[in-house]
Amino acid sequence: MRTLKNLIAAGAASLISSAALAADLPPPPMYVPPPVEDFGGWYLRGDIGFSNQQVKSLDNALYHDPGVSVQHTGLGFDTAGIFGLGAGYRFNNWFRADVTGEYRGKSNFHGVDVVTVNGTPFGTNTYTGSKSEWLVLANAYFDLGTWWCITPFIGAGVGGSANTISGFTDTGQPAASLAFGPTATKWNFAWAVHAGLAYKVNPSLTMELAYRYADLGDGITGDMYTWNGVNAVNNPMHFKNITSHDLRFGVRWAIDAAPVYAPPMLPLMRKG
């Protein structure tokens, strides 16, 4: 009986001693997840798409002759392709900026005006021709959060547009007339606003589907001349306030992409 009591007392003493020793030891290190990096970096981009363009009005020196009134109807352009390249920098998860240059392909122009002289209908003019542009923009974008790898964004850009009018022809009826406008290019201040969705395929590659409204300024032909080369007054045709609703598909390639994940930090094992 005494032996059993001695064993119980010895076990209790050993348990108390172990608990006291454990209390003196430092706590095991806790797992701390790695911080999420607000990653930025350089990227390249490419875009293709198509335009839907309008012109507010046409203007010519002859429109301002005394008693002449001109009413435009059906001025417009056909759809044309857009091809662009650019480079930019992503500052953090919500702000990035880039510089883009693009060629906007030739778009056929068509329009009609009705001419009235001293209140009496005089005739109509039917216009044809084509237009193309080189557009350079500096853009800034705000990414609005990411859900299932999809990031909506908005943005704005400013820059310049070189608008080229070519093959311009003016055919008059019923008083038969024919005039031509030589090819000419005009540089303008341009601006744009953007909205779209971006899908991150992997850390290096992001695809975009975006809408853009672009104000491209004005266009101008060379000095108009008749079928026999006669022209008594300098009267190039002015295209006033050219705008476009663009739909674009783009890709962004990150030059220094963030890693897919950070390996977890494992606690150190104590020896002894």
State the average pLDDT over residues 243-248.
98
Residue 226 lies in a domain: yes
Q: What is the pLDDT of residues 110-124, one digit of tens each?
A: 999 888 888 888 888
* The predicted structure's pLDDT at residue 258: 55
Rounded to 5°, angle at Cα 32 from 31 and 36 = 145
- Domain membership of residue 111 (yes or no) is yes
The enclosing domain of 69 has a CATH number of 2.40.160.20
What's the pLDDT at 71?
A: 85
pLDDT of residue 238: 96
Mean pLDDT confidence for 225-231: 83
Any domain includes 250: yes
Residue 135 CA from chain centroid, whole number: 12
Which pLDDT value is given to residue 24? Answer: 53
35 domain residue, yes or no:
no
Asked if the model's pLDDT at residue 26 lies above 60, the reply is no
What token pair was written down for 169?
Answer: 């022809």
Whether 91 contacts 142, CB under 8 Å: no
Percent of the chain with pLDDT over 90: 61
C-beta separation of 172 from 123 below 8 A? yes
Residue 140 counted as domain residue: yes
Summarize pLDDT for 56-65 with one digit per residue, the tens.
999 988 888 8
> Stretch 180-187: mean pLDDT, rounded?
96
What value does the mean pLDDT take over residues 164-183?
90
How long, in residues, is the chain?
A: 272
pLDDT average, residue stretch 243-247: 98
Determine if the pTM surpasses 0.85.
no
Residue 263 lies in a domain: no
Residue 30 maps to a domain: no
What value does the mean pLDDT take over residues 125-135? 95
pLDDT above 90 (res 139):
yes
Cis peptide before 174 (omega within 30 of 0): yes
pLDDT of residue 29: 56
Query: Structural domain of residue 239, as residue ranges?
Result: 40-254
* Total domain count, the chain: 1
**Minimum mean pLDDT range among 25-34, 144-153, 242-251:** 25-34
Q: What is the pLDDT of residues 194-211, one digit of tens each?
A: 999 999 999 899 999 999
**Other Cβ atoms within 10 Å of 107 Cβ, number:** 21
In Å, how far are 162, 219, 243, 248 from 186, measured between CA atoms?
5, 6, 15, 25
In a domain, 45, yes or no: yes
